Amino acid sequence: MNFTNGKQLLEICSEKHIPISRAMFLRETDYLEQDPVEITCKMEHAYDIMKQAIHRALTEDLISTGGMIGGESKQMDALRKAGKNICGPLVSKAIAYAVGVLEVNASMGLIVAAPTAGSSGVIPGVLCAAQEEYNLEDAVIIQALYTAAAVGYLITRNATTAGAEGGCQAEIGSASAMAAAAMTQLMGGTPAQCLDAASFALINILGLVCDPVGGLVEIPCQNRNAMGASNALVSAEIALSGIQSVVPIDEAIEVMYRVGRSLPVSLRETSQGGTATAPSACHACKIKWKKTSI
């Protein structure tokens, strides 16, 4: 059993009366002939790494290689624990956790590139926060990860998740779409609602440029992971309410790819445009390089 686009995926889910997570699992085990136990163990291991990254950010003093970020997750977690957070507990946890994973990544720690290192905080942020807030078992989260994987596969199969090719919309946008679909399934959404949520997430940040300061996956990447996590939750809630996306996931992916390819090279991970060229950003880089050269 195989699928290469969202339409085919929904047809399989409808015909077999299965969720997206099951369709993705069967594709990996039946079509690609991989061992079911091994596949499950790999997914469990991936989720364990995600949780460990969040724990590290909240308990250790991390300083990024570029020296621009470190400790932000603790600050956000402290704000929530003090009851001074603006967002509700789920969103506040999700964005704090997403920020934390980027700290681990930027300090050369172990993360899961889901789908990329630069967007690695979105899915862990959303799913770990959801697990805590709704008291969910790991096995339930693992199933949601298969749904996220299905959306990631559709995007990589038909477009790109690389910032150098499609801008940050291809990285954070893809991660957000994956997390939105996963969250929708966690909350009992149908396969169609899962893909609608993914479509909303992509369209919401269509055209987002990739402009890392100093060429490092630190600023503005860290904050954009928080934004991606919140966008996933917003998109999931919209879909769960019964609102349907006018643009199906296959078209949303195609549009994202076209927009990404039309972005000038200066806005595709080259650090030659956008935030990377702001005077304060350039000054921060000069201070960093001066310190490291002493």
pLDDT average, residue stretch 252-262: 98
pLDDT tens profile 188-212 = 999 999 999 999 999 999 999 999 9
pLDDT recorded at residue 293 = 45
**Cα–Cα distance measured from residue 136 to residue 147, given in angstroms and rounded to the nearest whole number:** 16
Amino acid of residue 138? D
Q: Compute the distance between CA of residue 155 and CA of residue 22 in angstroms, rounded to an integer.
A: 18
pLDDT per position as a tens digit, 46-96: 999 999 999 999 999 999 999 999 999 999 999 999 999 999 999 999 999
In the chain, domain spans: 6-293
Whether 141 contacts 196, CB under 8 Å: no
3-state secondary structure the chain: CCCCCHHHHHHHHHHHCCCHHHHHHHHHHHHCCCCHHHHHHHHHHHHHHHHHHHHHHHHCCCCCCCCCCCCHHHHHHHHHHCCCCCCCHHHHHHHHHHHHHHHHHHCCCCCCCCCCHHHCCHHHHHHHHHHHHHCCCHHHHHHHHHHHHHHHHHHHHHCCCCHHHHCHHHHHHHHHHHHHHHHHHHCCCCHHHHHHHHHHHHHHCCCCCECCHHHCCCCCHHHHHHHHHHHHHHHHHHHHCCCCCCCCHHHHHHHHHHHHHHCCHHHECCCCCHHHHCHHHHHHHHHHHHHHHC
Q: What is the pLDDT of residue 294?
A: 44
Whole-number Å distance between alpha carbons of 267 and 61:
32
Residue 209 pLDDT: 98
pLDDT value, residue 177? 99
How far lies 139's CA from each of 36, 47, 94, 145, in Å?
14, 10, 19, 10
What does the pLDDT read at residue 1? 81
Domain 6-293 is found in CATH 3.40.50? no
4-35 pLDDT, tens digit each: 999 999 999 999 999 999 999 999 999 999 99
pLDDT of residue 289: 56
pLDDT for residue 288 is more than 70: no
Percent of the chain with pLDDT over 90: 95
- How many Cα atoms are found within 13 Å in the side-chain-facing hemisphere of 268? 17
pLDDT score, position 286 = 77
What is the C-alpha separation between 14 and 20, in angstroms, rounded? 10
If you average pLDDT over every residue of the chain, what do you get?
Answer: 96
Q: For residue 285, what pLDDT is reported?
A: 84
Contact call for residues 194 and 239 (beta carbons, < 8 A): yes
CA distance 141 to 128: 8
